[in-house]
Structure 1
Amino acid sequence: MAICSNLFRHNLITKEAGRVVGRRAFAVAGGKAKKGSKGGGADAPKASILSKEVKATTVVGANILKDGVDPKILPDSEYPDWLWHLLAKHPPLSELKRRNLEALPYEDLKRFVKLDNRARIKENNSIKAKN
């Protein structure tokens, strides 16, 4: 009988310890929270100390090296031509459908096939989901 009560008591103690250990407690920064405080007073973003000239001539935050400096902004002629085509907007599927497919450039035709296949797959999946 004594062995049984010891096992029972040990089991209760370990369960209770597991509950206590499993709980999380978050400490308030700087001791107790002030009344009426919205929290985040210490972590609020600070005003930038960089001058406008520095911001206009360098790519701030692009440095990945520990001892490096941020790269300078170069004139447009110093960058490769392909870079400026990255910002070009591609026509959507609805506009590609309205155009003559035989007159489309190869890149637009490739895009049309990809978008058309994607739209057909989505349509077939929605039909199968309804059934």
Structure 2
Amino acid sequence: MALNHARSLKIAMNSMEPMRMIGSRTYAAGKAKKGSKGGGASDAPKVSSLSKEIKATTVVGANILKEGTDPKLRPDSEYPDWLWHLLDKRPALSELQRKEAEDLPIEDLKRYVKLDNRARIKENNSVRAKN
């Protein structure tokens, strides 16, 4: 019985290539079907078919409804004033700490309180954190 096992091991050791094919996982590189998720030449970026006039007069991609069209751009006077200040730079906590609290406008004072609370919470969390 032991001799039969030795022979089978010897045969298996001599022919390692078939064993590798059985014991390892391989992935087939098949042809991608039309409409499948495989990568290929069809994944190239598509050229926009919209004209420059349409791009300049509408907000392309803003329609979230199944039915309907993208909204048209309006003149700047029809938009609210606060819209134009959304991207303005706001002072950081260190800059707000350097100023006197009495001299700060109410918006900056609210921002100072919020940022200061956030910084204290982070500091307390780092002190209490397990090492």
If the length of structure 2 is used for normalisation, what is the TM-score?
Answer: 0.65
If the length of structure 1 is used for normalisation, what is the TM-score?
Answer: 0.65
Q: Find out whether 1:30 has 2:33 as its counterpart.
A: yes
Q: Deviations over 1:57-79 (max 9, x none)?
A: 11111123334221111111011
Q: Deviations over 1:18-70 (max 9, x none)?
A: xxxxxxx9986229xxxxxx933223321111111211111111123334221
Change (3 A) 1:128 1:102: same
Q: How far apart, CA to CA, are the structure 1 residues paired with 2:69 and 2:46?
A: 22
| TM superposition shift of 1:130 | 6.3
In the other structure, the counterpart of 2:127 is 127
In the other structure, the counterpart of 1:87 is 87
In the other structure, the counterpart of 1:55 is 55
Change (3 A) 1:40 1:94: farther
Gapped regions of structure 2 (runs ≥ 5): 1-26
CA RMSD of aligned residues (A): 2.7
Identity among equivalent positions (%) equals 72
Three-state SS of the structure 1 residue aligned to 2:42 is coil
Gapped regions of structure 1 (runs ≥ 5): 1-24, 32-37
Aligned length: 101
Q: How far apart, CA to CA, are the structure 1 residues paired with 2:31 and 2:97?
A: 59
Runs of 4+ in 1 over 6 A off after TM superposition: none
Question: Residue type of the partner of 1:72?
Answer: K
In the other structure, the counterpart of 2:9 is none
